[in-house]
A and B are shown apart, each in its own frame.
Chain A
Amino acid sequence: MVESRPAERRGDPNVAVLLTWFLPGAGHMYVGRVGLGLLAFMVLEGLYVLGWLLGDGRTFEYLDPELRGPLATLLTPEAGNLGAMLFHLKSSSFGSEEALPFPRWMVLASFSSALSGILNLFVAAHAHLEARAGRGTPARPHPVRLLAAAWFFPGLGHWLQGRRLRAVMVSGILIGLFVLGTWLADGTNLSRERHFYYWSGQFLLGGPALLLELLAGDARVTRELPWVDVGLLYGCMAGLLNVLAMLDVWGVAEQRWFAVSPTVSPDPALEGPPAPSGEVSA
């Protein structure tokens, strides 16, 4: 049985999220978790700097010149780490004006900076919970861990929640859609250089997209691809639909988390819209 204690809030959750968005770890420092904040800052900014160093700061040079502009990079995974992305744009902009070959580790550089942005979204979600929950929250599968699992492998978050049928269906639908799209596009979707924005969408599919790109990325085009547009759409939609799956996992995880934790701040104004799923029982 969990001891009941008065509601205890460490700070404004929305402030914690905004601070984290601009500077990883700042939200945690705001709510008093200084050590965790410093760790998040070092890991996430380290990932971004690694990407910058490996790619000579030329990640956004992938974007077609006619699409470049002050808001053009907001639809990239890097936008999840907004401060680093703005600094990147300020210092390197869209790369060299000359047509130079990309550095050898450009793909890894792109992964690293994009991963920094995605992981910072999980850190922001964690900061939001930390601001709402007091110390002494019972140890359970943490909602952020489930959220990260749902991104890393579609369906894994549902599986860890015990929602096995849904996990299998989500996994089958999304990975099937992505594989079918990759087949229709003959693997050309697995390249950020070719399809900058579609790549950003399919990056939201997590592990399967990363793995397939590492194994079969940068495919050569040796024939006409009549269904390449459909393939690109399928790959991108698989990633975008995984966001719905992640929100479903998050909604149920958050309800379960707070249902067993009497030390949280039950302020309904901070709860946001109703969770997508009405399941409350653990």
Chain B
Amino acid sequence: MRLGAHLGYFFILSLAIVIMSAFYSEAEDGPALRSVPRRYAVFVGACAIVAAAMLVLEHLFVAVG
């Protein structure tokens, strides 16, 4: 449940980041909004890769459990 809430808060903030960066990159509202799903998928996917790498490194080198 705690993990679900963390993921939920992450998805909210990342959506805000992606929409604002789409607005910054595209002059017209239409193309900017149409690019949001692709940008969002790339952003979340990249964050997932970084998170996975961090978890692997933690498990291999700095696990204290």
Q: Report A's interface with B, CB cutoff 8 A.
A: 163, 165-166, 169-170, 173-174, 177, 180, 227, 230, 233-234, 237-238, 241, 244-245, 247-248, 252, 276-279
**Nearest chain A residue, comparing its CB with the CB of B19:** A173
Q: Report B's interface with A, CB cutoff 8 A.
A: 5, 9, 12-13, 16-17, 19-21, 23-29, 32
**Nearest chain A residue, comparing its CB with the CB of B5:** A227
Among B5, B13, B24, B27, contact of A234 (Cβ-Cβ < 8 Å):
B13
| Cα–Cα distance between A165 and B30 once the two chains are bound (Å) | 10
- CB-based contact A169/B19 at 8 Å: yes
- CB-based contact B27/A252 at 8 Å: yes
- CB-based contact A177/B25 at 8 Å: no
Which residues of chain A are near B20, meaning CB under 8 Å? 170, 173-174, 241, 244-245
**Nearest chain B residue, comparing its CB with the CB of A276:** B24
Which residues of chain B are near A227, meaning CB under 8 Å? 5, 9
- CB-based contact B27/A278 at 8 Å: yes
**Nearest chain B residue, comparing its CB with the CB of A230:** B9
Is chain A's binding surface mostly helix, strand, loop or mixed?
helix
Which residues of chain B are near A245, meaning CB under 8 Å? 20, 23-24
- CB-based contact B13/A166 at 8 Å: no
Which residues of chain A are near B23, meaning CB under 8 Å? 166, 169-170, 244-245, 248
Known: A165-B29, A166-B29, A169-B19. A233 touches B24 (CB 8 A): no
Which residues of chain A are near B17, meaning CB under 8 Å? 237, 241
| Cα–Cα distance between A169 and B19 once the two chains are bound (Å) | 9
How many contacts A-B (CB < 8 Å)? 51
| Cα–Cα distance between A245 and B23 once the two chains are bound (Å) | 8
Closest 6 CB pairs of A and B: A277-B27, A279-B27, A278-B27, A241-B20, A244-B24, A276-B24
- CB-based contact A276/B16 at 8 Å: no
6 new A-B contacts, CB < 8 A, other than A163-B29, A166-B23, A173-B20, are A174-B16, A177-B12, A234-B13, A237-B17, A276-B27, A277-B27
**Nearest chain B residue, comparing its CB with the CB of A164:** B29
B16 to chain A, nearest CB (A): 5
| Cα–Cα distance between A248 and B22 once the two chains are bound (Å) | 10
Which residues of chain A are near B19, meaning CB under 8 Å? 169, 173
Which residues of chain B are near A278, meaning CB under 8 Å? 27
| Cα–Cα distance between A173 and B27 once the two chains are bound (Å) | 18
Would you mind naming 29 contact pairs between A and B with Cβ atoms under 8 Å apart?
A: A165-B29, A166-B29, A169-B19, A170-B20, A170-B23, A173-B19, A174-B16, A174-B20, A177-B13, A180-B12, A230-B9, A234-B13, A237-B13, A237-B16, A238-B16, A241-B16, A244-B20, A244-B21, A244-B24, A245-B20, A245-B23, A247-B24, A248-B24, A276-B24, A276-B25, A277-B24, A277-B27, A279-B27, A279-B28
| Cα–Cα distance between A277 and B22 once the two chains are bound (Å) | 10
Which residues of chain B are near A165, meaning CB under 8 Å? 29
A95 to chain B, nearest CB (A): 34
Q: Which of A170, A252, A277 has the most CB of B within 10 A?
A: A277
**Nearest chain B residue, comparing its CB with the CB of A181:** B13
Among B13, B25, B29, B32, contact of A233 (Cβ-Cβ < 8 Å):
B13
A228 to chain B, nearest CB (A): 12
